[in-house]
Amino acid sequence: MRLLVIGAAGMLGHDLLAAARGAGHEPVGLDLPEIDITDSAATTAIVRDVAPDAVVNCAAWTDVDGAEEQEELAARVNAEGAGNVAAAAAAAGALAIQISTDYSFDGTATEPYTESSPTKAIGAYGRTKLAGELAVAEAATPDFAIVRSSWLFGPHGKNFVDTILRAGAERGELKVVHDQVGCPTYTGHLAQALVDIAERRLTGILHVAGTGSCSWYELAVAALDGAGIECTVTKTTAAEFGRPAPRPAYSVLVSERDDAPRLPPWQDGLAAHLSATRALT
């Protein structure tokens, strides 16, 4: 299978290329400046030339706080760009796989969100990603998969776990939000699931995230303990932390689909991340 990974230089894209090679496939990775997904015509031409069996769009505006001030620019990538990639994949006869987010939900639920749960984004980032979901479905029906995941971390990009480990080692004392709960997801595990989705040509919306849930505080404590870093961690609230963009208070994702890939527990993902990070140093 020839798998085109757009956004290949990013944290998930890097692991996806490795997972595809490990499964015996032929991955092709592209990122800026080789491809600009906001340019529809150029994107269509590039995808046609690669002639992939599936296209995974990992490219995104991921600055959640920055999107509040620059929603139009974020939408060009997360909404229009996603639609451009899906249309290009459809024109090439390829499956379009779009990476989406738990920020498609407002976080007011008291039980996990499934694929059929009503969506309602509460911030600019979530709105642009949700618009991207709609653009992909419109451009590539029926050959599309929208994969919602959450709280990504991996050894090849900026992420919460590494930020906590660095800050904990430097400061010895941290305050971490405890009133936001989600599913931490290791990009190495998600990448393998994306290869599986491409192989089986699954379509529609799929929730694929680390099994189980925790708060940011609980993730921070587990990461520091796993890395052997002594640090005092105290709880704070999202309101006290005062970030510019609103974030879902509860964004736990589960799948109601029997055919959706199931990831290992988030604790296993954390252990795999710590091991991979140590191997790189």
Is beta strand 173-177 parallel, antiparallel or unpaired with respect to 152-153? unpaired
Encoded tokens for 266 = 């988030």
Tokens 């290009």 appear where? 88
**Sign of the dihedral through C-alpha 212, 214, 220, 221:** negative
Of the residues 125, 186, 217, 250, only one is catalytic, namely: 125
What distance in Å separates the CA atoms of residue 19 and residue 14, rounded to the nearest whole number?
A: 9
What distance in Å separates the CA atoms of residue 31 and residue 170, rounded to the nearest whole number?
A: 33
Contact 162, 224 (CB under 8 A): no
Encoded tokens for 195 = 């290869």
For 255, the 3-state DSSP assignment is: coil
Is beta strand 214-215 parallel, antiparallel or unpaired with respect to 181-182? antiparallel
Q: Cβ of 1: how many Cβ atoms within 10 Å? A: 16
250 in active site: no
Catalytic residues: 125
